[in-house]
Amino acid sequence: MRSRSLGIAAVGRALPRHYYDQEALLAAFEHEWAGRLFNPRRLPQLHRNVLVRGRHLALPIEEYRGLDSFTAANEAFIRCGLDLGAEAITDGLERAGLAPSDVDHLFFVSVTGIATPSIDAMLVNRLGLRADLKRTPIFGLGCVGGAAGVARAADYLRAFPDQVAVLLSVELCSLTLQRGDISIANLIASGLFGDGAAAVVMVGPEHPTGIGAAGPEVVATRSIFYPDTQDVMGWKIGSDGFRVVLSADVPSVVRAHVRENVDAFLSDCGLALDDISSWVAHPGGPRVLEAFAEALELPREAVARTWESLAELGNLSSASVLMVLRDVMGNGRPPEGAWGLMVGMGPGFCSELVLLRW
């Protein structure tokens, strides 16, 4: 048995109760965009190509027509985000055997809505968190935010090894959809992205309760930024809200860089690719996931849980990789001492690598 280390005690999650299969969502979009698409057959093709079976939505589908402004959509983000965030943190703390008063630092990542005070501040009252809680709200990381948030929480616990840090991700992608945008990027986004929240509870090795980590130890992390790729992915934010930027170049960027980045990171940690037995990868979409596996020469079963998360939930931006982590912890957990790697990619364009030991 290894000595106690900086580890992940639990992952909580919360999904909106409004779930729709992909065919129901496609029918709604075909009705919305009837007569406006140059090639109407393109929409069902794009929706089916993303290999998503269904998605959770923050609101009942009939209420989205009432979101006639950025203000209305953002108010829904705050209202629903608070509920889901509280549920995810509560679930994570209960799984870890901790109380809200045990949390020393709350990190909050999101890219699908804005609030000041931020969602994490509002949750202090909702959950009864301590008045001396440290808070770090992070906006703009997009899909990489889950892995990057785990890395930043680990950085904090290395400085304060007797404390508890919680990373909360709340992403309500459906509230960003632009009904007036019939670009290919928006049509793909309408079939790919879903809603949900996840909360990672992390405990320093000197925490006085002596609680163990049910999940893996966070051994090392690395951030990689790719210069001059800011137009590959992100948002254009204007009076109508968040307009998606999603370039067809994303898989090419992944193929060009991820193998070199992973090899260099593992080499600096005294490891090689063959030492990694479990993968916690972000489900960016089929083409991105295929490019990732191809670059690293991984068989499909190595990222099977990522494929299943994509099919079941869609892409939840920063929350997705945390959902995959939860699945790996709960089903077929790797043997003690096995090495794992968490990988996220997002706007910048950038990557985050988190070395795990089970």
Could you write out the DSSP letters of every residue in 135-190? EEEEES-GGGHHHHHHHHHHHHHHHSTT-EEEEEEEEEGGGG--TT--SHHHHHHH
For the question of residue 143 being annotated catalytic, the response is yes
136 in Cβ contact with 152 (< 8 Å): yes
Alpha-helical runs (H) found in 160-302: 184-192, 250-268, 286-296
- From the list 80, 143, 173, 350, the catalytic residue is 143
Alpha-helical runs (H) found in the chain: 22-32, 42-49, 70-96, 119-127, 145-159, 184-192, 250-268, 286-296, 304-313, 320-330
Nearest to residue 355, comparing CAs of 199, 223, 226, 254? 223
At 7, list the tokens.
């580890």
Nearest to residue 165, comparing CAs of 153, 151, 150? 153
The span from the CA of 160 to the CA of 350, in Å, is 27
Nearest to residue 204, comparing CAs of 153, 255, 261? 153
CA angle 133, 131, 101 (to 5 degrees): 70
Q: Which residues are catalytic?
A: 143
